[in-house]
Amino acid sequence: MTTVRTVLAMRTRPGCEQRFETEWLAAAEQIRTLDGCLHQDLVRDADDPRMYLIISDWADRERLDAFGRSEQRDQLLRVIRELRESAHRHTYHVLHTVPGELDEPETTKPQRRRSRDD
């Protein structure tokens, strides 16, 4: 099975940006506990504060689709749907991930013991 990533582009209604962010965070806190949900991000366009991307990674397409058809999804995202003007979703298979320098665990070198002669 292949990890899948969904990218959902949403434009909020005018003046709903802060409430949208708050409601998304509340829903995401519950979604993160679901089987198969690996990661979620909410990002806002640097030039258009009403435009957002919701990016989420799921263990496989089957679990993503099961969530997408669930009553729980409908309940969690009901308010978000009311706050948006438009939405477009795309789903991708994650083929490769290259961690950034900050993502790699730091290795610590053993400390050299100082002797009396140092």
DSSP 40: E
Q: What is the pTM of this model?
A: 0.80
Provide the pLDDT confidence category of residue 102 given band limits of 50, 70 and 90: confident
101 pLDDT band (50/70/90 cuts)?
confident
Contact (CB, 8 A) for 8 and 89:
yes
Q: What is the mean pLDDT of residues 36-58?
A: 97
| DSSP assignment of 79-109 | HHHHHEEEEEEEEEE-------GGGSPPP-P
Number of neighbours of residue 90 by Cβ within 10 angstroms: 9
Q: How many CA atoms lie less than 13 Å away from 110 in the CB half-sphere?
A: 3
Label residue 108 by pLDDT band (50, 70, 90): very low
Question: Is the pLDDT confidence value at 114 over 80?
Answer: no
Give yes or no for residue 28 having a pLDDT over 80.
yes
